[in-house]
Every structure is written in structure tokens, then in C-alpha cells.
Structure 1
């Protein structure tokens, strides 16, 4: 079984005196435990597209992401089992964590198994699976006994379905 840290190590590169360097190597500092054992780390954010290679701008860490207008958000999430979240899941009712974002999201499951729940249907995701989430109403359900590690890149988007 692969184990992953709930708080990721972040390495940031830069250029100094014309040579590439490691500018930072430490555990991510922008980490919040939103509910018991649900850790979200907003690792990096850009404010424009194309992205600037200048230093990052600190962003608030929120349970439901706020992606900068014309920017991106790089997010690392440790999702506990549903039974440990303290939310009541009622059969036949929408999942209580159902939400919709106005972003295009590239999501990769790094460890564990997680259900992607849509308004009509769901699918089981396993390590290595990739989701292209296109501004749809969705929720995540961890029905196992182990935490899931999910990596997401959120990109500001326009348009509607």
C-alpha cells in the first residue's frame, strides 16, 4: 500500500545569478483542516494567463476553491473516509458536499479510492485515474477506510453548458 503525506512537501525553483536554484524546500505552509481529517493545501496560484514566473501571491485556503480571475490554483487534498467526515449521507438525497465551480479542473488520484458523484451517475476512481471536471455540479465520496490523496489544477474558465 502506498502512503502519502497529508501535508505535502513543496519545492520551488528559481534563477539566481543566471543559474537555476532550489529557492524553497519545505512542507507546504498553506494547509487547513476544514473538517476532521479533510486537509486542503493550496500549493501555488497564478494571477494571469499566460502565467508570470514572478513570486507567488498568497491566497486564502478555502474548502471550496476560489480561483483567481484568468489564473490557476494548484491544490493537494487529503480526503478522509465518509464515515469520519461527520456529514450525514441520506440515500436518495444529493451528497451533502455537492458543489459546482466555475473552473476547468485537472484532477489526479494519487492514493486510495474515491467516488466521483454527479447529479446523474457516479464512478469509482483509483490511483492514476484522471478527471477533467468542466464546471459541473459534483461531490467526492470516500467509502473506504483509508484517506485518499487527490491533486488538482483549477483553471479559471468561461462559458456554460
Structure 2
């Protein structure tokens, strides 16, 4: 198994997307990229820790590649807005990739370059590309949040469209 860490706004959204991909296992919401140890959700939400909400996932690279994970990542959030995803505003919602080795760094760097050079997005990509230092697991009540709370307005308005996009454009890599 390989490991990847992505932050694309609220971790509820990102987890809901990636748990549906073939070859992806053990998706866990958490916090990374900050400056205090063992942050709590309330502190991160207030933007006081420097952490971003992210996910850590383990994946079988014989079933899904890192490049495919990047494709889904960039297709299911806005990588051109600094410290913002929809109504979620603050550094805790920034777009980030935390690489675990040189191969991930180079693959992500080339992927971002291709997207920018191809003008896939109207604005330049602001996604951070950072080495992973530490990932802190979020509290358990954030696990499977979307699947357990689909009727919540946040899930209906923000996550449902991401899932629809995923099931429309990425059918071949869904579980």
C-alpha cells in the first residue's frame, strides 16, 4: 500500500470523494501543515493552528495510480482559490498536497504544470506542494461524515455535487 495526503477544503468533502475510488483504503480525516502538536477541530476551525483540514489515504497502486488520484483531487475542488472552498474561508481550507516521497513530489509538480500550461482553469493553481511532516487524526465523529449525514444542508449543497461529478466523470475507477 502507498499513502497520499490531500487537502482540498473541508475534509468531509475530500473523504467522501476518495473513499469511493477503487484501490483506496483507510481514508482518515485529519490536520496537517500547522505549527502546534495535536490540534483539535475547534482550534483548527478558528484558524489558530496553521493546519489545514486534510485526508490521509492508503491506496493499492496496482488498482489506482497517484496520477489518477491527482486527477480526481483537482477535478473535485477549486485549486485556484487561495484559502477558500465555496463558503469555507481560512487557511484551514487551503488546497494542498503533502507528498511523502520524491516520486509524489515530481508527479504532482508535473501535473500542476500541465494544468497551468493547458489553461484547464481560468486562474492559476494555488495548490501548495509541501513535504509531509506530520498528520494528526481528526476526532472520530468526522469519519464517514457525509455517508452518515447526507440530509444535512452542508452535505446536500457542497458534497452531493462533488459525488455527482465523480460518478459522472470517473466511472472506471469507482468501487
TM-score (norm 2): 0.27
Q: Which structure carries more helix by proportion?
A: 2
TM-score (norm 1): 0.28
Q: Which structure carries more strand by proportion?
A: 1
- Larger relative CO (CA 8 A, sep 6+): 1 or 2? 2
